[in-house]
Amino acid sequence: MLATFMEVLDTSVANVSLPHIAGSLAATNEEALWVLTSYLVSNAIVLPATGWFAGAFGRKRFLTTCIVIFTLASVLAGAATSLGMIIVARVIQGAGCGALQPLAQAVLLESFPPDRRGVAMAVYGMGVVVAPIVGPTLGGWITDNYSWRWIFYINLPVGLLAVLMTQTFVEDPPYLRGGRRGRIDYLGFGLMAVGLAALQILLDKGQEADWFASVTMRWLAVIGVLGLAGFVVRELTTEAPIVQLRIVSNRNFAVGLLLITVMGAVLYASLSLLPLFLQTLLGYPALQSGMATSPRGLGALASMLVVGRLVGRVDGRLLIATGFGGLAVATFMLGRLDLDVAMGNIVLPNVIAGFAMGFIFVPLTTLALGMLRNDQLGGATGLYNLMRNLGGSVGIAATTTLLARAAQRHQALLVGHLTPENPVYLDQLGALTAALTPQLGAGAGEQATALIYQTLLRQAMLLAYIDNFRLIALVCLLCVPLAFLFRRVRARPDAAAAVH
């Protein structure tokens, strides 16, 4: 989990440092966004093919190699002297870390019998749920107190320790020892790479380019759809697929893929909305906004410890339904914020949301993967983590777009109240004009109108944030009944023997 935590952290730790990276490397903020996009694209391409690579080269050897690549690329990114150099380093870093999450998950699942896998997934959840929550706060603190380069350099000692511990403790299961080299499905891998890359770039850059009003975005959508459709057909018809898509026919795994995609969207959407709300509307500095949201990580950490012991004793479907219900309540609380809230009003719903996520993640992973054979886990965990990441990209893209469109809609509605027929508007305008006249004289009326309009813009943006938080809460509520589509996973008496 050392390497996995480090990898997941890097998906979010660089976000708050982008302006510093852009300024240091003489790039615009828009150009600096490729530091994030390049990492996510290469990461997405490697994720679903993890099972094949582990089978071809041996899991332990492949895991060690990935950690080394990721660590060296981190050092290269920290030492970058140009935007092109850091983007290349981030591509290599994303490719090296793409397999770390599914490999760690597969090792943990195989190391425990089915009735103890909840404990294993609680440990795993501490990395993949807590890391993106603490990432922005840690990144802001490091950047403010040292340099943005240290958000990459800190990976070096962690990576070295992870390599040492992997070599000492991780062993290949019998069916992977020595690797089972076979021919590579180059066509399938190529279609997957092109499709996922086009989709990821579309999601990351769509709002900036006004989505399908841009010819580039339309081409990316066509390439993404055709590439992924061709990939699915190829993998279902070839004798040696690089991704075992047929495991999606397992009911629990299919339902799990759906719900983990939604959870990824909800997690990353709320994590992108809340810091923006705090910084743009309430005027919080980056570090303080991170401190207001980081209690979500404490809630998640606490619930992982609790839920890890409940899985296997309590119906996992009830735990998932409870988690999505709690997440809906917490997000709806955020949907009742206004411009006069204190930090405590932000902290409480974040703690509840973090605690609810533990109730979702641990039993969801256990139920989704609990009915698969051990030799299917490598490919399944790759797909599972890919869908969580893609869900996150979709969630961020959707909320960013909805936020901008909703703000415009509310602004158009509110402007209709700034008319001479509205006595409230006239009273406010008169009071402001009178207060400003001693300083501004004849220009007081114009300045008073501008101040009222600025207040209107803030109110329009506030209503847009409220709309988004309430939409996320509704999505969480809709997931509650979906939890009962799972078949319950029951531990067999010989489960421990079967795992070994």
346: CATH: 1.20.1250.20
- Contact yes or no for 185/214 (Cβ under 8 A): no
Per-residue pLDDT of the chain (500 residues; tens, 9 = 90+): 888 888 777 766 776 677 778 788 877 766 777 777 778 778 878 877 777 787 778 888 888 999 999 999 999 988 888 888 888 998 898 888 878 888 887 888 788 877 777 778 777 877 777 777 777 777 777 777 788 888 888 888 888 999 999 888 888 777 665 555 556 778 888 888 888 888 888 887 787 777 888 888 899 899 989 988 998 888 888 877 777 788 888 888 999 999 999 988 888 888 778 877 887 788 777 667 767 777 887 888 888 888 877 877 888 889 999 999 999 999 999 888 888 877 778 888 988 998 898 888 888 888 888 788 777 777 788 888 888 888 888 888 888 888 888 888 998 888 888 888 788 888 888 888 888 787 777 777 788 888 888 888 888 999 999 999 999 999 999 999 999 988 876 644 333 333 33
Q: Are 212 and 148 within one domain? A: no
For residue 222, the enclosing domain spans 185-241
Q: Are 477 and 437 within one domain? A: no
CB atoms within 10 A of CB 442: 7
Q: Are 55 and 128 within one domain? A: yes
Helix (H, G, I), strand (E, B), or coil: what is residue 314? strand
Q: Are 337 and 257 within one domain? A: yes
Q: Are 180 and 190 within one domain? A: no
CA distances 215 to 158, 205, 221, 394, 411, Å, are 43, 13, 10, 20, 29
Q: Are 308 and 202 within one domain? A: no
Tokens of 101: 């999450």
Taking the CA atoms of residue 445, residue 447, residue 452 and residue 457 in that order, the dihedral angle to the nearest 10 degrees is: 150
Q: Are 211 and 295 within one domain? A: no
CA distances 182 to 55, 56, 62, 231, 242, Å, are 9, 7, 16, 19, 10
Helix (H, G, I), strand (E, B), or coil: what is residue 311? strand
Instruction: Please state the φ and ψ torsions of residue 97, each to the nearest 5 degrees.
Output: -95, -5
Tell which of 241, 257, 279 closes a domain: 241
Would you give the DSSP letter of residue 483? G
| Max CA distance (Å), the chain | 88
Q: Are 134 and 61 within one domain? A: yes
Q: Are 42 and 129 within one domain? A: yes
Q: Are 162 and 40 within one domain? A: yes
Query: In angstroms, what is the C-alpha Rg of the chain?
Result: 24
Report the alpha-carbon angle 16-22-28, nearest 5: 115
| Rounded distance between C-alpha atoms, residue 234 and residue 232, angstroms | 5
Q: Are 310 and 381 within one domain? A: yes
Q: Are 466 and 342 within one domain? A: yes
| Rounded distance between C-alpha atoms, residue 481 and residue 93, angstroms | 39
Long-range contacts of 279-285 (CB under 8 A, 24+ apart): 280/461, 281/339, 281/458, 281/461, 281/462, 281/465, 282/339, 282/341
Q: What pTM does this model have?
A: 0.77
How many distinct structural domains can be found in the chain? 3
Write the CB contacts of 338 (distance below 8 Å, at least 6 apart in sequence): 462
